[in-house]
Structure 1
Amino acid sequence: MPQSSPPLPYLIIDFDSTFTQVEGLDELADIALQGSPDRERIVGEIRALTDQGMSGSLSFSESLQRRLALLPARREHIGQLVERLKGLVSESIRRNQAFFQQFAGRIYVVSSGFREFIEPVVAEFGIGPDFVLANTFTYDAEGRITGFDAENVLSQNGGKILQLRQLDLEGDVYVLGDGYTDYQIREAGLANRFYAFTENVSREAVVSRADEVLPSFDEFLYQNKLPMTLSYPKNRIKVLLLENPDPRAAELFRQEGYQVDLVPGGLDEDELVDRIEGVSILGIRSKTQVTPRVLEAANRLIAIGAFCIGTNQIALTECMKKGVAVFNAPFSNTRSVVELALGEIIVLARRIPEKNPKMHQGEWDKSAKGAFEIRGKKLGIIGYGNIGAQLSVVAEAVGMQVLYFDIAEKLQLGNAVKCRTLDELLQQADIVTMHVDGRPENTNLIGAREFALMKPGTIFLNNARGHVVDVPALAEAIHSGHLGGAAVDVFPYEPKTNHETFESELRGLPNVLLTPHIGGSTSEAQRNIAEFVPERLMQYVNTGNTQQSVNLPNIQLPVQQAHRLIHIHHNVPGVLARINNVLAAHSVNILGQYLKTNEHIGYVITDIDKEYEQEVIGELRKVEHTIKFRVLY
């Protein structure tokens, strides 16, 4: 946002693996050796020498000489290299191109690389030839690169120190780079600070000597209160992921630049209270309980991602009142749960849970007693949401008749028949399967009374939530022989880790399939969830988009115009007017404004011109009834 920026110290920035994501000579070797059978070996040797020179384990001069001796490049390869490097500028550097153009007269690119490929790359950022200090190649008559200009101080050991002495800059000097030679400028007393840039590569010998470590260029700008493209460095956004979501989730967050912590298994309330401070995004599955006490300890929490369908483990109303958006994965594991249910129906109908262990014990029990085909049988689906509806379609495809019951009005698919009451379904179905949500009102939805209404020999499935079934009553219905079998994937209490013992009244009962909450545990489902949930969370953090949030008013936002103000407030009259009064008092031009409310909160998004006074932000934060306020740009 607009602010009076302090004068920028001279910024000395390295090129290879800092301004760009790669080392120029490594890429030049890769281009020059295309088609050569020795390409992989030689490029590998050059890269190893580069790293030794950058980490300080090999003198720079020797590293350079040995690399060029291996390099079979020609003058015409330089153009190809430049085009490649233009596409490999570091993400945070590219993002802040306007900063480089604004302060070009204060920024020097000082590199042990080569002017021939550095100049055309940094020129697009407003950095002219006079501010590029680098080596130059030597060529033979046929245009082959033969070496480097030995008179150039940057080709020598300690070359960057010699170059800075020749520059003789007056005022503060900051050095930003990834190599030992960059640190040496600070060590020689020629710079006030050395920043180790780790966005592309992190070298311990360099990081350990740095005044500051920069995961991105945004962090440098933020620390020094300089104009930046982002409103907040993403490396400062801390993500805590619990219960082992698919690794793709952490990968996506890290690609975005977020700081990610992983905790295997769930955390109880006390443990989560201890870990939640400073966390901006929390990712959980079904075991972790996000209670009001956890939310009280969450001083920076912006959003929660449930890497599953259910959200009853999260205090949604309290999250809403604190301005914490919650997202889940309502569709990502639908097919996996449906296939599990269909498999359970067939396996139970053929009494496989009884016959399989006998075979493993050497007992041959060939009998058709109690076994039946599922074709023509009535499947009663309780809860006709995403999973129930898709199971309906699949079940019809294998010849079943489908009945369903849902408290909400749902359009039936295919030939499914809606039952007016739960009792009506229970009395007709040959197989009953649960697919309701975890709201408290569904606790013990199926108990002794409901089991008694079912026909003798009915098969019962619960792949919904553990607490929706009275487990002792289910165990008794199986034990008495009234039910013909059961499959249960969810339980009122589930072990937090794979090392905890599972206890249940259902253990050891005949024709009962017990599975450890694996309805969505397929590689496809977990991958889908690990992509869907982070995408929703990052959309919210980056743009304010609440589409598909389960607790905040849903707003599908257009592309951001200039600066975006995100304002969550208690739903009381007059807040929008107060916000607009502040903007009007400071003559701020509104480009677009969006408001949606529910019974507890209001959500206002305002896009404004980027030219405004700093005082505007302070006044907006102080608007009465504000819960959370953010600025995005």
Structure 2
Amino acid sequence: MNTIVADKLKTIKTLNNIAESGLNVFNKENFTIDNESENPDAIVARSYNMHAMEFGAKLKAIARAGAGVNNIPVDKCTEQGIVVFNTPGANANAVKEMVLTSLMASSRNLFAGIAWTKSLENEGDQIPKLVEAGKKQFVGKEIKGKTLGVIGLGAIGALVANDALDLDMDVIGFDPFISVDTAWNLSRNVQRAMSIEQLFANSDYITVHVPLTDDTRGMFNEKTFGIMKPGVHILNFSRGELVNETEMAAALESGVVGKYITDFPNENVLKMKNTVPIPHLGASTKESEENCAIMASRQVKEFLETGNIKHSVNFPNASLPYTGKKRLAAFHQNVPNMVGQLTMAVSSYNLNIADMVNRSRGDYAYTMIDIDTEVNGDVIPGLEAKIKGIEGIVTARII
């Protein structure tokens, strides 16, 4: 697919209810919101399943107002030169608060105790006596001094780990891919597990904050339960598929796992003993939805207006200060001499290059070239055909 486009008014389509504060990022002078458009310049969505969608030729970007992109056909987008954004960290505080709330409440059997108390509704004056007699069945344990294992120390995991320390817990963290930015924000008092098995063996509570991949699918299973402390509490606010549910049910029944707190209930989970099924409320706060919408919209706006990319899941991140001069942005196969061919194409039209950046990601790369020569109009005559003729170009545009 080879395209060079230089549209003025950009069309944005939303596939879910996107917070108004996010849509306000798109100024009316340069953007229009049209949810009926069959060929928008960009799509902003939340959990809408896009796998069966056909994308128009103009589509340049999809932004997921949230972290997970399982609802988006990322490989297909890459092949068609469509950048896919997500919003890591925008909902981190909301999920962190839910994790810590659930950790404490489940440890004290609060959910079961409240449900039992409400069942006494018609007992009249006997309720106080029944409460005093029955409360012993809900005796819990304090989290102070216990060990919390945090798997995945990204935006959410780091917040959970730091706040758990403030609650006087001991914290072990495991993340072989921790970023430099996260490392700076993580308390030095978080103990580093050299292996996930070490974390399993030493934690009273385990919370997981990793994406669903072939490597993480079913990571909680009979084998890993056997490494853990008897009665461990497991909190899953990442993806339901991280847990082998058949083997989790058996571990709960035998007491190998003391409690399973999950934000992803289904028929299997609801039948399990000692579960706390939460109706996917981890990021369901007004603040979180607004933060995600604003972040997603800003990423799309920045990309459409300048070509700069941040927080993409399929394109390399790349940024150049935008001065308003003409800019060539090309997504292409990551092969030798591609940058040379692009610069030669530009210089063959007597155009000076002011600045450029090239970033790669796997089999693909992204190049931006700023043109120093004054150019009249939106499209440089002849350059379109020149760029389109280069083998390995997926998409390109002049901004």
Distance 1:246 1:382, change over 3 A: same
Distance 1:359 1:486, change over 3 A: same
SS at match of 1:532: helix
Measured after TM superposition, the shift of residue 285 of structure 1 is 2.4
2:367 to 596, 600, 604: 604
Give the Cα separation in 1 of the matches to 2:307 and 2:38: 22
SS at match of 2:279: coil
Distance 1:563 1:466, change over 3 A: same
Over alpha carbons, which structure has the higher Rg?
A: 1
Partner of 1:595: 358
SS at match of 2:226: helix
What is the 5 A alignment of 1:438-587? 438-490=212-264, 503-507=266-270, 509=272, 511-587=274-350
Partner of 1:316: 74
Answer yes or no: is the 8 Å Cα contact 2:319–2:357 preserved in 1: no
Measured after TM superposition, the shift of residue 444 of structure 1 is 0.4
The residue identity in structure 1 corresponding to 2:45 is I
Partner of 1:619: 386
Measured after TM superposition, the shift of residue 508 of structure 1 is 5.3
Partner of 1:271: none
Distance 1:506 1:385, change over 3 A: same
1:398 to 150, 163, 167: 167
Aligned alpha-carbon RMSD (Å) = 2.5
Distance 1:420 1:597, change over 3 A: closer
Distance 1:625 1:355, change over 3 A: same
Answer yes or no: is the 8 Å Cα contact 1:320–1:600 preserved in 2: no
Give the Cα separation in 1 of the matches to 2:48 and 2:104: 29
Measured after TM superposition, the shift of residue 510 of structure 1 is 5.0
Deviations 1:11-69 (A, max 9, x none): xxxxxxxxxxxxxxxxxxxxxxxxxxxxxxxxxxxxxxxxxxxxxxxxxxxxxxxxxxx
SS at match of 1:460: strand
The residue identity in structure 2 corresponding to 1:626 is I
Give the Cα separation in 2 of the matches to 1:305 and 1:402: 34
Answer yes or no: is the 8 Å Cα contact 2:174–2:196 preserved in 1: yes
Partner of 2:142: 373
Give the Cα separation in 2 of the matches to 1:261 and 1:481: 54
Matching of residue 233 in structure 1 with residue 8 in structure 2: yes
Matching of residue 284 in structure 1 with residue 45 in structure 2: yes
The residue identity in structure 2 corresponding to 1:457 is G
Answer yes or no: is the 8 Å Cα contact 1:348–1:486 preserved in 2: no
Give the Cα separation in 2 of the matches to 1:465 and 1:256: 40
SS at match of 2:397: strand
The residue identity in structure 1 corresponding to 2:341 is R
Stretches of structure 1 that go unaligned for 5 or more consecutive residues are 1-229, 263-274, 492-502
Distance 1:581 1:415, change over 3 A: closer
Measured after TM superposition, the shift of residue 471 of structure 1 is 2.0
Matching of residue 360 in structure 1 with residue 118 in structure 2: yes
SS at match of 1:441: coil
Q: TM-score with structure 1 length normalisation?
A: 0.55
Give the Cα separation in 2 of the matches to 1:528 and 1:435: 19
Matching of residue 249 in structure 1 with residue 22 in structure 2: yes
1:418 to 186, 192, 195: 192
Partner of 1:159: none
Deviations 1:84-122 (A, max 9, x none): xxxxxxxxxxxxxxxxxxxxxxxxxxxxxxxxxxxxxxx
The residue identity in structure 1 corresponding to 2:275 is V
SS at match of 1:506: helix
Distance 1:596 1:369, change over 3 A: closer
Measured after TM superposition, the shift of residue 297 of structure 1 is 4.0
The residue identity in structure 1 corresponding to 2:33 is V
Partner of 1:429: 203
Distance 1:242 1:457, change over 3 A: same
Deviations 1:398-421 (A, max 9, x none): 111111222335746232212222
Distance 1:446 1:575, change over 3 A: same
Answer yes or no: is the 8 Å Cα contact 1:404–1:417 preserved in 2: yes
Answer yes or no: is the 8 Å Cα contact 2:112–2:138 preserved in 1: no
Give the Cα separation in 2 of the matches to 1:307 and 1:604: 26
Stretches of structure 2 that go unaligned for 5 or more consecutive residues are 121-129
What is the 5 A alignment of 1:144-223? none
Which fold has the larger relative contact order, with Cα–Cα distance below 8 Å and residues 6 or more apart in sequence? 2
Measured after TM superposition, the shift of residue 564 of structure 1 is 1.4
Give the Cα separation in 2 of the matches to 1:441 and 1:313: 19
Answer yes or no: is the 8 Å Cα contact 2:154–2:178 preserved in 1: no
SS at match of 2:144: coil
Measured after TM superposition, the shift of residue 561 of structure 1 is 4.1
What is the 5 A alignment of 1:125-144? none
Answer yes or no: is the 8 Å Cα contact 1:393–1:414 preserved in 2: no
Deviations 1:527-548 (A, max 9, x none): 1111111001110011000133
Answer yes or no: is the 8 Å Cα contact 1:277–1:299 preserved in 2: no
Matching of residue 259 in structure 1 with residue 32 in structure 2: yes
Aligned length: 375
1:387 to 153, 156, 159: 156
Give the Cα separation in 2 of the matches to 1:559 and 1:568: 18
Measured after TM superposition, the shift of residue 374 of structure 1 is 0.7
Give the Cα separation in 1 of the matches to 2:344 and 2:176: 45
Measured after TM superposition, the shift of residue 334 of structure 1 is 0.9
Q: TM-score with structure 2 length normalisation?
A: 0.86
